[in-house]
Amino acid sequence: MSQPTVAVLRPDDDRIVEAVEYLQSLDVSPIPDPMLTIEPTGQVPQHADYCVFTSETGVNLVATAGWKQRETTVCAVGDQTETALRNRGYSVDVVPPTFTSTGLVDELAAEVEGQTVELARSVHGSDVLVEGLEAAGAVVRETHLYRLERPETAGKSVSLAINGELNGILFTSPKTVEYFVQIATERDAVTALQRGLEETIVGAIGPPTEHAVDKHGVAVDIVPDTVGFRRLAEVTVRRIRGIQQ
């Protein structure tokens, strides 16, 4: 049995390197095609009663900038964000059981009335957190730590997908999905992409990413039970091998 080809779209930093190495350890032929590059804004969160982090990238940026936790209640969306915070020496007080913005709103709604809540995240965050926390009576502020741009080199995986040459593809954020489909749109090839992915095992790292894929008329085959790249890779590769046998 030949090695399955699996496209991975992680950001163009250590994460794509680690992803490729991990896929190789699963006896897979990885197709690295970074869809994101991180552009820091230089902003740092203000002091607040609560501070919400939604990504490992955001955590690393504030830690490098020297942000101090003090008496702030720190909230993490997702286990990777939580791990990054602890690795950087911060204590984590709240992690919602469902790794989504809605899950965090549900977790905090009963305790944030009259409290200041700082959202430390990318420019591209949804309004769900802001609207939900304000409805619960919180004073919400946002600090945009970074923006996500599309690298000029992105697109190899799109060509392979259109031609039906991928056994699997791993989507790790809604923004990766957006840029992936954007490339196909620029090539006037969205219909061809949808058709080409029909025989590809499509993995999405969590519900928000799954919804982003669904929105573009592509069926998602795999959403792992925990949010993390390794788990996503494992279950996707397992499904591919089950089909190939």
Question: pLDDT of 22-39, one tens digit each?
Answer: 999 999 999 999 999 999
CA 54, CA 109: separation in Å to the nearest integer? 17
Question: pLDDT of 203-229, one tens digit each?
Answer: 999 888 999 999 999 999 999 987 789
pLDDT at 245: 46
Q: pTM for the full model? A: 0.80
pLDDT at 244: 57
Q: What average pLDDT does range 128-152 have in this prediction? A: 93
Tell me: pLDDT of 46 over 70.
yes
pLDDT at 78: 81
Question: pLDDT of 173-182, one tens digit each?
Answer: 999 999 999 9
Under CATH, what is the fold of the domain 41-148?
Rossmann fold (3.40.50)
Mean pLDDT score of the chain, rounded to an integer?
93
Question: pLDDT of 102-121, one tens digit each?
Answer: 888 888 988 999 999 999 99
- 5-35+155-241 and 41-148 have identical folds: yes
Pairing of strands 139-149, 37-40: antiparallel
Q: What is the DSSP letter of 14?
A: H
Tell me: pLDDT of 10 over 60.
yes
Q: Where are the domains of the chain?
A: 5-35+155-241, 41-148
CATH class for domain 5-35+155-241? alpha beta
Q: Which amino acid is at 57?
A: T
Tell me: pLDDT of 161 over 80.
yes
- Going across the sheet that includes 73-76, the strands are 37-40, 139-149, 116-122, 50-53, 73-76
pLDDT at 228: 83
Q: What average pLDDT does range 51-60 have in this prediction? A: 93
